[in-house]
Structure 1
Amino acid sequence: MRLGASHLLILSWVAPVLLVVAWEILAQTGFVTPQVLPAPSKVVRTAFKLATSGSLLEDLVTSLLRAAAGFAIGGSIAFALGILVGFSRIAEALVDRSVQMVRAIPFLALLPLVIVWFGVGEGQKIFLVALGVAFPIYINTTLGIRQVDPKLLELGRVQGLSTLQMITRIVLPGALPSILTGVRYSLATAWLALVVAETIGAQAGIGFLAMDAREFLRTDVVVLTIVIYALIGVVADSVARLLERRLLAWHPNFGGAGR
């Protein structure tokens, strides 16, 4: 039986809804204490209180702006380096090993040095986000360029395309599925980096809200911040999927008809 898009969308939410229902039942019956994991209804009431006071929106906007700035900076640099390394073996020899060495370093290991460089202000947080999003985009851009079908390149040469036309009409469109995969991974990494960044010296943001709640044992607020991160991740991934469908409408594997 073939299901339509609306049915598949509903089906994708069955497991999360059942999980929330089970969670609510366990919390209301006392199997899970509020100190360990408050009921979803309690979390919703807490969200409403924070939203009506305006503090939740302020923290959310602050985190979104930090993530957007870091994503724009790190993504742009990574995309440029990925194109450079993808097209040039000399650039790969000069750049790639250093990038891979930095990529292997955990965020927490870099945090003391980043604080020395930038202090605990906005620069530190944006830098960590930019660093986190850079690697998936860089790797997937390079990989996408290297995996373009050589037969397509040969066809372009036969058609007399210039180097610039080869890049814009064959190489970059062929690498686009891999590049967009890197974007999807980097969106998730951006929030991971931001959580780490906002645990140190932040005065606003979702991470600050979680750390402040931990000090006062407000597990309902901590759970709320986790839910917010999850919802933002779902929305960001949905936007990335929509971007894929729009930009790759010509690609048969993305539901579009070939041109």
Structure 2
Amino acid sequence: MLDADKRRRPRRRLFRIGAELDGKLHLAIAVAVFLTLGFAWWAVTFSGLVQPLFLPAPGAVWHRMVSLALDGTLWQDSIISLYRIAIAFALASAMAIPVGILIGCFRVWEAAIEPLVDFVRYMPVVAFVPLTILWSGTGDWQKFLIIWIGTFFQEVLMVMDNVKRVPADYIGLGRTLGLPERRILWRIVLPSALPGIWDTLRISVGWAWTWLVLAELVAATSGLGYRITVSQRFFQTQTIIGYILLLGIFGLITDQVMKALEKVLFRYLSVSR
């Protein structure tokens, strides 16, 4: 009876809210999920339940991607898309972070800026595609603008919330010590809000990937989204699925890199916990 209870305890801990999970077990579960989905994909296509036109086999997708990689198409599309998202996301973040900090700290700026940001962020980004083509043509700047519109306004409000979550006691302590507002901002507010701001960037870069594909699906001559559009015209489902999976891989790598950097940049969080 006691042995049975001991065996049940680890299982119960796994399903406790907020319970820690061993790193190896975390990785094993994640890999198992991907393998299960891959096996299900293979089984469905191998059994013939779905025609290859609608869902090609994993092997067919792999061979198509290898072929595109060998002739340079895959690398060219990836490089141009990575360039576009890097520039556009950097511009959007460089502008959103100071604006978000400003309206998060000062009510007067919140009253002046937040309603406008709220107003614009509910406008669908897709509706701006024709306008951005009219304003900036079909070059890279049009792609930058679409990504900027899709990420800037969301980032501003999330950064604002990160700043507002700084405990008022911290700011009160700074005033008690006689620090001017400028030093309270740089020495107290920003260090406290930075981990949250970094997490905001990690989340919003996922949106940036979405808007990148949208920008490249229309009026583009290069990039991952463009290749998906061209493949659709010729019913090249292997390329479409392969590029979609590649976008997921790029996004996953970006997310994991930012998580790893978070542990390096904000080590004091793990120490305080």
TM-score range, shorter chain: over 0.9
| Residue 123 (str. 1) matches residue 137 (str. 2) | no
Q: Distance in 2 between matches of 1:140 and 1:178?
A: 9
Kept in 2, the 8 Å contact 1:139–1:182? The answer is no
Question: Kindly, what percent of the aligned residue pairs are identical?
Answer: 33
Partner amino acid for 1:151? D
Please say if 1:77 is aligned against 2:91: no
In the superposition, the TM-score normalised over structure 1's length comes to 0.93
Instruction: Give 1:75-154 correspondences, 5 Å limit.
Output: 75-154=93-172
What stretches of structure 1 move > 4 A for 4+ residues in a row? none
Q: CA deviation at 1:153?
A: 1.4
Cα pair 1:140 1:182 within 8 Å, conserved: yes
Q: Does 1:248 align with 2:266?
A: yes
Structure 1 range deviating more: 212-221 or 145-154:
145-154
Which of 217, 230, 237 is matched with 2:255 structurally?
Answer: 237
Partners in 2 of 1:131 and 1:14 — Cα distance? Answer: 37
Residue type of the partner of 2:272?
Answer: G
Relative to structure 1, is the Cα distance of residues 146 and 132 closer, same or farther in structure 2, using a 3 angstrom cutoff? same
Structure 1 position 211 matched with structure 2 position 229: yes
1:219 alignment partner AA: T
1:52 maps to which of 55, 59, 70: 70
Distance (Å, rounded) in 2 between the aligned partners of 1:221 and 1:124: 25
Aligned partners of 1:176 and 1:142: how far apart in 2? 11
Cα offset for 1:244?
A: 2.1
Aligned residue number for residue 271 of structure 2 = 257
Return the offset for 1:58.
0.4
Q: CA deviation at 1:54?
A: 0.6
Distance 2:265 2:154 in 1: 19
Higher mean displacement: 162-171 or 69-78: 162-171
Does 1:175 find its partner at 2:212? no
Displacement of 1:3 in angstroms is: 5.1
Larger Rg: 2
8 Å CA contact 2:88, 2:148 repeated in 1: yes
Deviates more, 1:178-187 or 1:58-67: 178-187
In the alignment, structure 1 segments of 5+ residues that lack a partner are none
Structure 1 CA distance for aligned equivalents of residues 56 and 242 of structure 2: 10
Cα root mean square deviation, aligned:
1.6
For structure 1, which segment, 220-229 or 168-177, has the greater mean C-alpha deviation from structure 2 after superposition?
168-177
1:136/1:185 contact within 8 Å kept: no
Correspondent of 1:227 among 245, 253, 262: 245
CA distance, structure 1, for counterparts of residue 115 and residue 246 of structure 2: 37
SS at match of 1:120: coil
Aligned amino acid, residue 257 of structure 1: V
Q: Which residue of 2 aligns with 1:19?
A: 37
The SS at the match of 2:110 is helix
- Indicate if the aligned counterparts of 1:72 and 1:130 stay in contact, CA closer than 8 A: no
The answer for unaligned runs of 5 or more in structure 2 is 1-9, 11-19
